[in-house]
Chains A and B, each alone.
Chain A
Amino acid sequence: MSFAEYITALIEALETFEPSSFSRLKALVGEKKARLQLDDEVINVGFVEGQFAILPVDEHTDGEGVMDSASVVRILDGHLEVTDSILSGHIMAKGTPSSLEEILIAIELILEASIHTPQFRALSEQFRSEKFIKGTRSNEYDITALFETGEKELDLLARLDLLP
């Protein structure tokens, strides 16, 4: 499946199995458009007359997200945290602060819906399987050790009473 087909299947599953989440997504996004890039594949997406659509890539967009398959597989396998993938530049998001906030809320909304939607998990498994066949591997070892919380960070979090 192409990236466009994955995104379309994801949103269709949301509309079919989690219609309330789909409505919230539509209300959140409104007329805004986003450019998404996975490896070399670039798509523009948005809602046109209430329907999700893949749009021409030369259209203006309000925000942009760029990621690579290897990072997505590592995230799905629990080898890479989303925060770390952003800090290390494996996932990039561009746009105004409000557009970025909307993109992140949209992702959260889809992730939350995935708890109740087996079709999402099947799509995730298919993605991992296809990328594995193409040679994309998860990390050899758990790389979270690279991002161990430092003493200074812990001190700061303790002072702000933000430790879990």
Chain B
Amino acid sequence: MSLHDTLQSPIIFDPTRSSYKDWFHLNLIDFETKALGIFNTSLHGDPLDQRSMAAGSAFISQGLGWIGNVEVVSQLEANMRPNFIGLQHMGFLISSTTPSIHVGVRQMDNRLNADFIAKAVSSYLSIDLPMPFGKGWISWRLIPKLQPFGILELDGKKIRLDNRFTAYHDHNWGRWFWGDDIGWEWGYFQCKSLSAVFARTTNRAHSIIGATWFSIHREGPDLIVSPGEIDCKINLAPKTLRRVPGAMAALRQDRANPLTPQSVTVCGKGSSFDLRFSFTASDALQFIAADPAGGGCSFIHETSGNVIVDGIIGNQDISEEGCAILEYVN
């Protein structure tokens, strides 16, 4: 398997360059401590516009709030290659030679450092078609399961990831302005013998549901649930949470206690399976995505928590617990 995945930078004559977005994303999950990590590097806006942004974020949740931080610089200051985004405190590389993701983090306060490689151990799924998203579009690719090797350093304590953590990766890109009438719901559920990815685009109020994705991954073929067989219920409640970047949080006081997912149930059926994933939230974090060209803001809520899956696959009863992360954007 090879990745051959690169940034999807706009061509020079693209009239929609100012709404360009590109996003490398990776999650780490540790069953032992229930630790959950988020590592992102992203590009926002026309790469040749000095107002455009490159952002990097690295956070770990262990049930006591989030350790980590976000950095935002001009894209012109970022070190970019087709498969790499490098910032002052973080680098994210997609290697095509060995199907793997390389992440390096050195945060200013040294509370969170990381240096690891996550090798793909599951199939590589690509939804390259531009899906309607507000006035623009979005596409994505994902690797549901990777095996990380390397070091995570939390408050000076070094943790070896080898044979203990598991990882998830996706890459999404497209054209939209933050603050448009857009939103999405995304979840990654990792249990002992299987994992699942749920995603759907929405409008800002989450009253209109767009393209929906629900896939279940285990040993053997992936189970892809058809959109008509997916049932998702999200219960929201006001939450006091950490919000970054702090300057944007200061500007948007109206979103200081947002409604975030407290419990979520996603059910999927197929001819050979019937599964129900029940998520209960613990820590939440709000990324405030301000658009350098559009001027609006969207709010990306990351919620870590526990998940229970029950149901059947073939003749086998399934009942497992695990860790999960849910993203709710509005």
Residues of A within 8 A of B (CB): 74-83, 107-108, 111-112, 114-118, 120-122, 124-125, 128-129, 132, 137-138, 141-142, 144-145, 147-149, 154, 163-164
Q: Among A75, A81, A132, which residue has its beta carbon within 8 angstroms of that of B108?
A: A132
* Residue pair A132, B109 in contact (C-beta under 8 Å): yes
A75-B246, A76-B246, A142-B242 known; A82 vs B253 contact (CB < 8 Å): yes
Q: Which of B79-95 contact A (CB under 8 A)?
A: 88
Contacts of A149 in B (CB 8 A): 238, 240, 257
Q: Are B291 and A111 in contact (CB under 8 A)?
A: no
Q: What is the interface of chain B, defined by CB distance below 8 A to chain A? A: 50-51, 53, 64-66, 69-74, 76-77, 88, 108-109, 238, 240-251, 253-259, 290-292, 295
**B-side contacts of A147, CB under 8 Å:** 240
Q: Is the CB of A125 within 8 A of B71?
A: yes
Q: How many residue pairs, one in A and one in B, have C-beta atoms under 8 Å apart?
A: 97
Q: How far is the CB of B65 from chain A (nearest CB, A)?
A: 3
Interface of A, helix, strand, loop or mixed by DSSP: helix
Q: Which residue of B lies closest to A139 (CB)?
A: B65
**A137, chain B: closest CB distance, angstroms:** 7
How far does the alpha carbon of A107 sit from the alpha carbon of B251 in the complex, in Å? 9
Q: Contact at A79–B240, with CB atoms within 8 Å?
A: no
Bound CA–CA A145/B65 (angstroms) = 9
B171 to chain A, nearest CB (A): 25
Nearest A residue to B286, CB-CB = A78
A-B contact pairs, 29 of them (CB 8 A): A75-B246, A75-B250, A76-B245, A76-B246, A76-B247, A78-B244, A78-B246, A79-B242, A82-B250, A108-B251, A111-B247, A111-B250, A115-B290, A116-B292, A118-B50, A118-B73, A118-B74, A121-B73, A121-B74, A125-B88, A138-B109, A141-B64, A142-B65, A144-B65, A144-B241, A144-B242, A145-B65, A145-B240, A149-B257
